[in-house]
Homo-oligomer: A and B are copies of this chain.
Amino acid sequence: MRIEIINTGTELLLGNTLNTHAAWFGRELFKLGLRVSRQSTVPDGEAIHEVLTEAIMRADAILVTGGLGPTSDDLTREITAEVLGLDLITDEAALRSIEAFFALRNYPMADANRKQALVPVGADVLPNPNGTAPGVYIPPRLNGRSNCAIWLLPGPPRELHPMVHAEVVPRLCALSGIDRPVEVLELKFTGIGESDFHQGIDAQLAEISGLEYGYCAHVGEVDLRLIGETAVLEKAREITLAKFSDFLVSDDGSSMEETLVKLLDQRGMTMAAAESCTGGLICHRMTNVSGSSRVFCEGFITYANEAKIRSLSVPQEMIEREGAVSEAVACAMAEGALAASGACIAVAVTGIAGPSGGTPEKPVGTAWVAVALRGSATQAKRFFQPRNRKDFKQAVSQYAMNQVRRQLLDIPASR
């Protein structure tokens, strides 16, 4: 099945807004075992005429986003009807929904919004509970020029995503003869690279019939997505974990921070962080997780040496003797954070993010990471990855959080 995505929006081509639609659709369709053949972006207005006219002759299904708003630049509805030779009529139910949307919010409805209830005769109106623009589905039987199905969808992700799940996926499955979405398994790994997977398991995975798989590499993380039937997934998972279980962060799509919050919660434990070169990123990531307040109690962003000495009780002479970026200082920071916060486990990071501040012995990209756990010896590890400042912070935070994760796994869950 040949599927094309057309994104309309001048802001996407001026670089004002990053187009996240293409990647999002790619992932959603991948879950159905479908692929995007082509994605195009055109400006608002007349430009959609040309791209749609071409696409309906190539594709089996076209997903158009944007241009359903009330302004004069929003022409997706009108031009699609024109290209297909269909008349537009006001859908009374859609009009009432739009009126209700404004009434609920006590906003006056502008006359311009009335045109959002226009739909090609015979097309399905797709409800939009999150905005004023209903979507439109034009089945192949209404399309006099080709056998292509067309969806017109709103641009804002918070309106688009629920509509795709509720209205597009079922129709796409029916059209493409998919009984139900296949299962998807997402395994997240850290500490190894994409090439390790290629060399380690690619050949074995490629032999499993009925399996689709793909890698996605981020800073400090590689995600492996597997799709197929249950038995196929189980086999792929076994092969993967036989080789790489030591590096597994999660097998349910959870991020490192979500995994840590869950592990801490299950153990009734609290965590603190002492950060120098990561500058608050570990704390920021932990507190991005809803519910983290139960387990994440405190962070010490001790960028300056005086802060390390005062807030974490790192001995001044230790910093002078060993340097701020050293195993001893990392351990002292972790132990200081444990003592000051009263947490059950504490992680500490000290390093040189660069671009300046490196020395031959401690080049930019060096960090020491320590984890202090009540009743255990503090463990420290050296990390070295020269990268740009932001990626270095991300990579070190991931490495440090993974050290916490590994120590937590050795502690039995209490709930």
- Chain A interface residues toward B at CB < 8 A: 11-20, 22-28, 30, 35-43, 47, 50-51, 54, 58, 214-217, 273, 275, 277-284, 286-288, 290, 292-293, 296-304, 306-307, 310-311, 340-342, 353-357, 389-390, 393
* Given A22-B12, A216-B17: A279 touches B283 (CB 8 Å cut-off): yes
> For A51, what are the chain B residues with a Cβ–Cβ distance below 8 Å?
38
Q: Is there an interface contact between A15 and B19, defined as CB atoms closer than 8 Å?
A: no
Q: Bound complex: CA of A41 vs CA of B20, how far in Å?
A: 13
User: Considering the complex of A and B, which 7 residue pairs feature the smallest CB-CB distances, nearest first?
Assistant: A279-B287, A280-B283, A299-B301, A15-B26, A15-B27, A280-B280, A16-B216
Q: Judging by beta carbons under 8 Å apart, are B15 and A23 in contact? A: yes
Residues A25 and B15 in contact in the complex (CB < 8 Å), given A298-B301, A298-B304, A390-B288: yes
Take A290-B356, A301-B299, A304-B298 as given contacts and tell me if A30 and B54 are in contact as well, using a CB distance cutoff of 8 Å. no
16 inter-chain pairs at a CB distance below 8 angstroms, sorted by A residue, are A11-B216, A12-B22, A13-B39, A15-B25, A17-B216, A19-B19, A39-B41, A40-B40, A279-B292, A284-B284, A288-B390, A290-B389, A293-B304, A298-B301, A299-B299, A311-B340
List the B side residues contacting A37 at CB < 8 Å: 13, 42-43, 47
Kindly name the residue among A14, A297, A390 whose own CB sees the greatest number of chain B CB atoms within 10 A: A14
B41 touches A14 (CB 8 A): no
| B286, A284: Cβ atoms closer than 8 Å | no
User: Given A288-B393, A298-B301, A301-B300, do A15 and B30 touch, yes or no (CB 8 Å)?
Assistant: yes
Taking CB atoms, residues of chain B closer than 8 Å to A22 are 12-13, 15, 19, 41
Residues of B close to A293: CB separation below 8 A? 303-304, 357
Known: A23-B15, A340-B310. A300 touches B303 (CB 8 A): no
B290 touches A355 (CB 8 A): yes
Q: Smallest CB–CB gap between A128 and chain B, Å?
A: 19
Query: Measured between alpha carbons, how far is A58 from B49 in the docked complex, in Å?
Result: 14
Task: Decide: B41 and A38 in contact? CB cutoff 8 A.
Answer: yes
B280 touches A287 (CB 8 A): yes
A42 to B58: give the CA distance in the assembly, Å.
14
Given A22-B13, A280-B280, A301-B283, A38-B30 contact (CB < 8 Å): no
Instruction: Tell me the complex Cα distance, A54–B51, Å.
Output: 11
Residue from B38, B297, B307 in contact with A341 in the complex, judged by beta carbons closer than 8 Å: B307
Which B-chain residue is minimally distant from A12 (CB atoms)? B22
- Interchain CB contact (< 8 A) of A284 among B13, B215, B279, B340: B279
Interfacial chain B residues near A43, Cβ < 8 Å: 35, 37
A24 to B41, CA, bound (A): 14
Chain B residues with Cβ under 8 A from A278's Cβ? 284, 287
A279 to B292, CA, bound (A): 10
Given contacts A12-B22, A15-B216, 4 further A-B contacts (CB under 8 A): A14-B30, A40-B40, A278-B287, A283-B301
- Smallest CB separation, A357 vs chain B (Å): 8
Of all chain B residues, the one with the shortest Cβ separation from A13 is: B36
State in angstroms the CA–CA spacing of A28 and B15 once bound together.
8
A307 touches B303 (CB 8 A): no
C-alpha spacing A288/B51, complex, angstroms: 41
**Residues of chain B with a CB closer than 8 A to A282's CB:** 280
Cα A390 to Cα B288 with chains together (Å): 6
